[in-house]
Structure 1
């Protein structure tokens, strides 16, 4: 049947740096297929991974190997035959656990196959040990064991001539025949195994060609999918950019609407302030008019007070009673008096006129107040 894949997964492949023995060196640019293969002819399990046409992992599983999980997505194992340490980085913890389970399973199968092979070797070696026990009675040279029947015949003749006892030579001859048959059987078995291995090799070569064709097809498909993913990422990035721009525009519109509301409120407030200012201006104008009127009244009253004060001073100077002046004003008599009397008369007229003005002014003030 040849070597067939029994389990496959995808992972990033690493190898330990041969110089430092500490750092990991990536052997694949991207995730590649890592497969378990089983060779039914040789009863061997292998881990194989190809990057293009290059084999980056070719590790035969032995019972002494151990797969170690160093993190949630990374595992490693040491291959003493390849003198290196392989590391695999998986996309998830589930893939790592599945690979580790298969490793343990095939490792156990390799151990059982090795034990069966040892038991088979022990069974095949048993006739040789019995032949060796017969040789103790009659020692044989390597030539007698590995030679042909023609070469063994003279030896038997010489022994018969030297000893001249046919019954004693019969036992060693029977042992040598058994040994010869045993090795002939072994040789036939080896030839059969060799034929099987040759057929398996031819089948493996055919399978390798088929795998290369499949790998080329897989690579083309991977390239196509990679291009498709790149295109989708570009479209997605453009859609994200449009969505982001749309979101920014919506935010800007909301900010402008809020600013417009604030401005409208400010305009209403300013209108109210303008109306209040107009009312205050009207009140100011009205108060200004009233103040001017009061100032005129005040000035008139001051003038009247001055006239009254002057008249009082004249009255005091003339030593006349105020009642006499009033009588003279009411009667309005014209009489001939001296210069002093004329002065008094003029003063009385002036006072009367000022009093009348004061009364009129007071009436006007009362009407405004």
Structure 2
């Protein structure tokens, strides 16, 4: 089956600065996918993260690793095989807690897998020892004769054995030693051949796993490309919205300038209305002066008529002057009414300007 993802999240990836061993160096420009992978063939767990085509995390989890929360949204762990310290920055505290819980679960699973593998290795080594003991026993008991076996069992030291046996026994012993050496060398070659076969099988498995990983990475790369395309489209939309916002701000600025111009025009109109009011207040004085001048003219004319006409016509002239004065008063009254109408129109014009300013 190869490696399969069992948990995936997104985070900002950091690595410790190898020169200072204190500062964090960002391994990705943005949040990337971080996944737990389980290898069923090796019974191992790994944390893998890919940024584009670059592998930024490839950490095999062991039972001795420890994930530490250094803040509410940041955690780290040390990888002795990679000789570095990885750090992950999450967008929320819940994501960090979930990742830490998963790390603890994977760590316990790796610990149990290690214990099982050690038990299997112990059992296998015990079987190999037993097989080697059986093989040595056959090699020792096969070629020897009953007499030599009894001699090796009951006669004292090796020197005493060599002294008591004859030349034929020494020659037989030399042949037995050469055969034992050949059998030991053959066993070594068989062991090396077996180890090479095991290495070859491991390499084949690694090749299969690497091809599987390449497929997974290709899928992740295609997903990252799709995500980057979506982000580019979103950036284009945001830029278009930003341009529209700038145009709207420009329109608002133009409207504010127009409002200021209208307010200035309104102030000018109010000043004109105030001037007209002052002029309207002066009109009664002008009318009074006009009345005085008219009366003086009438007196002057009457005097002239009195001097030029007879005394009898004086009363008629006075009556005529009175009638003329009444006509002038009527005309002045009409003029006053016209002025009042103009003043009312000015008031209406001012109210209209006030409403126009309020609407703006």
TM-score normalised by structure 1 residue count: 0.58
1:90 matched to which residue of 2? 90
SS where residue 158 of structure 1 aligns?
A: coil
Query: Structure 2: which 5+ residue stretches go unaligned?
Result: 155-190, 297-360
1:322 matched to which residue of 2? none
Shift of 1:23: 0.8
User: In structure 2, what is the Cα distance between the partners aligned to 1:251 and 1:98?
Assistant: 53
186-195 or 229-238, which moves further after superposition?
186-195
How has the CA–CA distance of structure 1 residues 153 and 119 changed in structure 2, closer, same or farther, with 3 Å as cutoff?
closer
Shift of 1:46: 0.6
87-96 or 250-259, which moves further after superposition?
250-259
1:36 matched to which residue of 2? 36
SS where residue 144 of structure 2 aligns?
A: helix
Residues 78 and 86, structure 1, Cα contact 8 Å, conserved in 2: yes
Residues 41 and 197, structure 1, Cα contact 8 Å, conserved in 2: no
User: In structure 2, what is the Cα distance between the partners aligned to 1:159 and 1:50?
Assistant: 70
80-89 or 152-161, which moves further after superposition?
152-161
Shift of 1:148: 5.7
- What are the Cα deviations for residues 303-322 of structure 1, in whole angstroms up to 9, with x where unaligned? xxxxxxxxxxxxxxxxxxxx
1:52 matched to which residue of 2? 52
How has the CA–CA distance of structure 1 residues 125 and 216 changed in structure 2, closer, same or farther, with 3 Å as cutoff?
closer
114-123 or 12-21, which moves further after superposition?
114-123
Residues 3 and 213, structure 2, Cα contact 8 Å, conserved in 1: no
2:150 matched to which residue of 1? 164
1:65 matched to which residue of 2? 65
How has the CA–CA distance of structure 1 residues 234 and 159 changed in structure 2, closer, same or farther, with 3 Å as cutoff?
farther
2:205 matched to which residue of 1? 200
How has the CA–CA distance of structure 1 residues 35 and 235 changed in structure 2, closer, same or farther, with 3 Å as cutoff?
same
Q: How does 1:348-367 map to 2 (within 5 A)?
A: none
2:268 matched to which residue of 1? 263
How has the CA–CA distance of structure 1 residues 101 and 280 changed in structure 2, closer, same or farther, with 3 Å as cutoff?
farther
SS where residue 87 of structure 2 aligns?
A: strand
1:15 matched to which residue of 2? 15
TM-score normalised by structure 2 residue count: 0.59
User: In structure 1, what is the Cα distance between the partners aligned to 2:256 and 2:145?
Assistant: 116
How has the CA–CA distance of structure 1 residues 109 and 190 changed in structure 2, closer, same or farther, with 3 Å as cutoff?
farther
Residues 75 and 87, structure 1, Cα contact 8 Å, conserved in 2: yes
RMSD between aligned alpha carbons? 4.2
- What are the Cα deviations for residues 275-309 of structure 1, in whole angstroms up to 9, with x where unaligned? 224445566x57998xx9xxxxxxxxxxxxxxxxx
1:245 matched to which residue of 2? 250
Residues 37 and 46, structure 2, Cα contact 8 Å, conserved in 1: yes
User: In structure 2, what is the Cα distance between the partners aligned to 1:265 and 1:231?
Assistant: 51
- What are the Cα deviations for residues 96-149 of structure 1, in whole angstroms up to 9, with x where unaligned? 3332222122122112222333344455566688x6xxxxxxxxxxxx948967
User: In structure 1, what is the Cα distance between the partners aligned to 2:280 and 2:39?
Assistant: 102
Shift of 1:259: 3.9
- What are the Cα deviations for residues 39-84 of structure 1, in whole angstroms up to 9, with x where unaligned? 1111111111123333211111122222222233322111122221
How has the CA–CA distance of structure 1 residues 126 and 200 changed in structure 2, closer, same or farther, with 3 Å as cutoff?
closer
Residue 139 of structure 2, aligned match among 153, 166, 181: 153
Shift of 1:85: 0.8
225-234 or 154-163, which moves further after superposition?
154-163
Q: Pick the structure with greater CA Rg.
A: 1
1:218 matched to which residue of 2? 223
Shift of 1:223: 4.1
2:75 matched to which residue of 1? 75
Residues 14 and 87, structure 2, Cα contact 8 Å, conserved in 1: yes
User: In structure 1, what is the Cα distance between the partners aligned to 2:274 and 2:146?
Assistant: 144
